[in-house]
Amino acid sequence: MKQAPRLTLNIDRFFDPNPAVRRLARLLYNSVRNLPIVSPHGHVDPNIFVENIAFPNPTELFLIPDHYIFRMLYSQGIPMESLGIPPLHGSPTENDARKIWKAFGDHYYLFRGTPTGAWLDHEFSVVFGIKKRFTGATAMEIYEHISEKLQSPKFRPRALFERFNIEVLTTTDAATDTLASHQELRASGWKGNVVPCFRPDSVTNLKTKKWMQNIQLLGARVGKEITSYRSLIEALENRRAFFKTMGAVSTDHGVESPYTRELPHAEAEAIFQRALRGVSTVRDAELFTAHMLMEMARMSIEDGLVMQIHPGSDRNHNQMILEKYGTDKGSDIPLQTEFTRNLKELLNKYGNDPRLTVIVFTLDETTYARELAPLAGHYPAMKLGPAWWFYDSIEGMKRYRSMVTETAGIYNTVGFNDDTRAFVSIPARHDLSRRVDSNYLAGLVARHIVGLDEAKEMIHDLAYGLVKKAYKL
């Protein structure tokens, strides 16, 4: 085996190779690279900051929780069980973390040209000070290096949070969550600002597995059995108020379609009663979700919580993987999504109201220029979320800026979301976003579309200003 190549992060990485653009991109990037991170949407478990214990090992830190990683390995024929992904029903799985890590190193070349590769290189280099590129040959050396670091107090969750310069981190929490971790965190005296986000999908989506149990749990949380649509609404309002007391500034709605439609009270009640009896139909569920989005917008106008709509994923496309390993295992596949007609009822009723902020995301980038930028460029209440999920990438962000800005400007967008489950990837993701935005603006300056003074204001807004404003932080 020849000598392992060095892992180096070029200071101009991701910038256009044109020297004039690159110089401008570097200048703009340097003006924001050290700004605090605002992470208003993600899936980090708040309990890691309560416990604040060392991460067990590199495999459990990087690979197991990150479906961006194991989906790619699985696509190339590496069985899930050999990657240590825990099966639901106790079938055998690899539990030698080192062996899994070696397989990861052997196949790390699969991530060439992917954002996952870019993030991991950043994490290895910047967070852990690794100097060799990750391959099968270097895997075990890197494993030991990271393992040693993880034992140090500097690599405990709270220490990393502070080192990452995170100003605020939002978690995503079910409507039925006690927010016990958030309560403990507040009680602990630690200064890190970690806030919840109210996500009621498991009770508003009648097709959710265990929906009935979720409804019962929700009733338990508010101390009142939910036997009617009206009591559901009251419970949700009650929970939103509680989330607000715990620092929440936003709600999140992961719907398959962004269809919105207000139902007469009697119809909503009838559907809800059918659901309680276990006889609701697919159409019932569609209508109920569409109606609940209307209700959530109404509540947002009343309580000020920023509403986020994340539509368009066919969750758990691979039934075998779902049954064997559960949700969030890399087989959520995007669907074509329609916004102009689907959001019409919500935007007509609430979109002119300045008290509402509704942030819309998409997994269907054909809607950026056709539907979302024209909508966000008109309705005062609507803002456009950043390039999301599969589009949270260098080329994905470039297409987003190219397709959105000319119609909606940058001021109808909301900065960056990392949306990550992998805590250690947060600085890598924000760094990549700041670089790509800097490079985009550098291109505008080099083509004399905006002045450098304007670009400096714009990069500050994209990296920091817009997210703070949109999420009322």
Q: Which of residues 110-149 bind a second copy (CB under 8 A)?
A: 110-115, 118, 133
3 versus 245: smaller Cβ distance to a second copy: 3
**Nearest approach, Cβ of residue 334 and a second copy (Å):** 5
* Residue of 178, 210, 314, 327 interacting with a second copy (CB under 8 A): 314
* Residue of 81, 184, 328, 338 interacting with a second copy (CB under 8 A): 338
Segment near a second copy (CB under 8 A), from 37-45, 227-235, 300-308, 369-377?
369-377
DSSP designation for 384: E
Hey, which residues does 199 pair with through a beta bridge?
174
Site for a second copy in 401-430 (CB under 8 A): 402-403, 405-412
Contact 196, 173 (CB under 8 A): yes
**Nearest approach, Cβ of residue 96 and a second copy (Å):** 23
Give the alpha-carbon dihedral of 201, 202, 208, 214, to 10 degrees. Answer: -160
239 versus 398: smaller Cβ distance to a second copy: 398
CA distance 410 to 407: 9
Burial class (CB in 10 A: 0-12, 13-18, 19+), 232: buried
177 versus 286: smaller Cβ distance to a second copy: 286
* Residue of 254, 258, 351, 386 interacting with a second copy (CB under 8 A): 351
Segment near a second copy (CB under 8 A), from 106-114, 202-210, 234-242, 422-430?
106-114
43 versus 107: smaller Cβ distance to a second copy: 107
Residue 18 in contact with a second copy, rule: CB under 8 A: yes
Hey, which residues does 198 pair with through a beta bridge?
173, 251
Burial class (CB in 10 A: 0-12, 13-18, 19+), 10: exposed
* Residue of 173, 284, 286, 364 interacting with a second copy (CB under 8 A): 364
* Residue of 99, 244, 274, 399 interacting with a second copy (CB under 8 A): 399
**Nearest approach, Cβ of residue 214 and a second copy (Å):** 26
Contact 307, 359 (CB under 8 A): yes
* Residue of 44, 50, 369, 459 interacting with a second copy (CB under 8 A): 369
Number of residues that bind a second copy (CB under 8 A): 94
Residue with tokens 């949070």: 161
Nearest Cα to Cα of residue 289 among 206, 382, 374:
206
Residue 394 in contact with a second copy, rule: CB under 8 A: yes
Residue 302 in contact with a second copy, rule: CB under 8 A: no
Nearest Cα to Cα of residue 415 among 339, 359, 338:
359
Residue 247 in contact with a second copy, rule: CB under 8 A: no
CA distance 178 to 194: 15
Beta strands 313-314 and 333-334, pairing class: antiparallel
CA distance 88 to 324: 6
